[in-house]
Amino acid sequence: MNRAKDWLTQAHYDIQAAESARQSGFHEWACFMAQQASEKALKATAQNRNAVLWGHSLKEMLMALKENCEIDLADNLMERARNLDKYYIIARYPNGFNTGIPHDYFGEKDSEDAINSAKILIQWCDSLETR
């Protein structure tokens, strides 16, 4: 069963949740949710091409889409994916840092950059589905 539309719809809700977290000062969660929104959008794109993406690395997913589905990547998508990949673990767990908690290490610029990168990835996935 192809549930790509569900994955992509949830990606759009997740990016809205990331924006809400950012506005509330939960920048670490905004960064993590931006990564998750991007992951869901990429998995939707794969499903629409009868491919399966495993794992959580956006960089690896983009490489797989490029190689296995013969999709051309838009400018700087790989850089944005690499940056978002950094938020998968350290934005959630205190042991990602020597001291303190993730909340101590993430600020407004981090969450703004993460959300902007995620929006670009999601828009790219949206554009592929309209072709």
* Topology annotation, domain 4-129: Four Helix Bundle (Hemerythrin (Met), subunit A) (1.20.120)
The angle, 0 to 180 degrees and rounded to 10, between the axes of the packed helices 77-85 and 58-68 is: 140
Amino acid at residue number 15:
I
Q: Report the alpha-carbon distance of residue 67 to residue 61 in Å, rounded.
A: 10
Q: What is the pLDDT of residue 116?
A: 98
Q: Report the alpha-carbon distance of residue 58 to residue 126 in Å, rounded.
A: 16
pLDDT digits (tens, 9 = 90+) for 73-100: 877 899 999 999 999 999 999 999 999 9
pLDDT digits (tens, 9 = 90+) for 13-63: 999 999 999 999 999 999 999 999 999 999 999 999 988 888 999 999 999
Share of the chain above pLDDT 90, in %: 82
Q: What's the CA dihedral at 98, 101, 102, 104 to 10 degrees?
A: -100
* Confidence category of residue 67, pLDDT binned at 50, 70, 90: confident
CB 96 within 8 A of CB 46: no
Domain ranges across the chain: 4-129
Predicted TM-score of the model (pTM): 0.94
Answer whether residue 131 shows pLDDT above 70: no
